[in-house]
Amino acid sequence: MRSKETFFWITISCGIVIMAFILIPLVEMMTAPSFAMLKETIKDKDVVRSIWLSIYTAGLAAIISFIFGTPLAYLLARTDFTGKRFVESIIDLPIVIPHPVVGIAILSIAGRNHWIGQIFSDLGIRIMGSVTGIVVVLTFVGLPFYVNAVKNGFESISPRLENVSRSLGASMFSTFFRITFPLAWRSMLIGIIMCSARAISEFGAVVIVAYHPMIAPVMIYERFEAYGLKYSQPVAVWLVSICLILFLALRILTLHNKKEA
């Protein structure tokens, strides 16, 4: 083996800088609370409830993105039409809009002063301060991540495979479910991970739409306000640890299958 070039060492050192940049603050935060403190925190029903609420609202957002986002991603990957770029940039909009603005925007159509809010109100659906509201916000911010990941997935599958299926008489519907879907499910899983990861971390938009019921990031903020750093950190540690385990498990699942294939 040849001795390493300078370029190699540059890549290594930049990598180390980035790892340190991400890890040092996080490790500092994760190790700050004592073990007793962590134990006490997880016994707190409010904390458990908020973490659970965070996880399942983020999960719901991912499922909604999966249902509505998959066909759209397929459309964008397979067809070319005028205004496609425009549609793509609209999908990216939730990424660039400041989070509180997202919350304000959603609230402004959810109120009775707007006809959509009026319809919701008549149907008895409440957005402000409700789980429905949280899921709406999380879907809004998570959707682009799902659509983009899955679109890339579809693009990497050759359309020729689909053409073969169609030429052998399969309908578009059955082609999608028997050919494309089995090949693209991994990118969908990645999309779901990305979408729910984004959703679980959302704070700014949610706190405007729903302060109560409290998702974990809002509770971390509230604890910080009411009791200070000491009591907000343990909640953060639990949230980060649980998410880490969840996402690691999902990644291992996908990686495992990749090797098999």
Partner 1 sequence: MKKKSICRWLPIIMPVLTLFMASLLACPQTGFAKEKLLTGEVIIFQAGSLTVPLAKMEKTFETKHPGVDIVREAAGSRKCARKISDLKKPCDIMASADFTVIDGMLIPEYANWNIRFATNRLVLCYTDKSRYANKINAGNWYKILTKKGVVWGHSDPNADPCGYRSVMVLQLAEKYYKKPGLYQKLINSRPKENIRPKSVELVALLQTGNMDYAWEYRSVAVQHELKFIELPDKINLGNYKYDNFYKQAVVTLTGKKPGITIKKKGKSCTYGVTLIKNAPNREAATAFLQYMLNPEGGLKILKEMGQPPFIPCRVPTAEMMAILPAGLQKLVEIKK
Tokens 């789980």 correspond to 131
Question: Does 254 help bind partner 1 (rule: CB under 8 A)?
Answer: no
242 touches 54 (CB < 8 A): no
Question: Does 211 help bind partner 1 (rule: CB under 8 A)?
Answer: yes
Question: Does 55 help bind partner 1 (rule: CB under 8 A)?
Answer: no
The CA-CA-CA angle for residues 214, 60, 130, to 5°, reads: 35
Tokens standing for residue 173? 């519907």
Q: Give the H or E element holding residue 210.
A: none
Taking the least distance from each CB to partner 1, the nearer of 192 and 219 is 219
Neighbouring CB atoms inside 10 A of 72's CB total 17
Taking the least distance from each CB to partner 1, the nearer of 185 and 221 is 221
Q: Reduce the DSSP state of residue 22 to 3 states and report it.
A: helix
Taking the least distance from each CB to partner 1, the nearer of 44 and 92 is 44
Pattern 91-130, binding to partner 1, x per CB under 8 A?
-------------x--xx-xxxxx--x---------xxxx
Question: Does 134 help bind partner 1 (rule: CB under 8 A)?
Answer: no
CB of 228 to partner 1, least distance (A): 4
Phi, psi at 215, each rounded to 5°: -80, 165
Q: How far apart are CA 119 and CA 114, in angstroms?
A: 9
Q: Which of 226, 258, 259, 261 forms a contact with partner 1 (CB under 8 A)?
A: 226
Tokens standing for residue 127? 């957005």
Q: Which of 45, 85, 212, 259 forms a contact with partner 1 (CB under 8 A)?
A: 212
Q: How far apart are CA 87 and CA 65, in angstroms?
A: 16
Taking the least distance from each CB to partner 1, the nearer of 75 and 131 is 131
Taking the least distance from each CB to partner 1, the nearer of 46 and 252 is 46
If binding means CB under 8 A, how many residues of this protein chain bind partner 1? 30
| Peptide bond before residue 213 is cis, with ω within 30 degrees of 0 | yes
CB of 89 to partner 1, least distance (A): 27
Taking the least distance from each CB to partner 1, the nearer of 192 and 239 is 239
Q: How far apart are CA 187 and CA 231, in angstroms?
A: 38
200 touches 58 (CB < 8 A): yes
Question: Does 18 help bind partner 1 (rule: CB under 8 A)?
Answer: no
Q: Which of 39, 84, 230, 251 forms a contact with partner 1 (CB under 8 A)?
A: 230
List interacting residues with partner 1 (CB under 8 A): 44, 104, 107-108, 110-114, 117, 127-130, 207-208, 210-213, 222-231
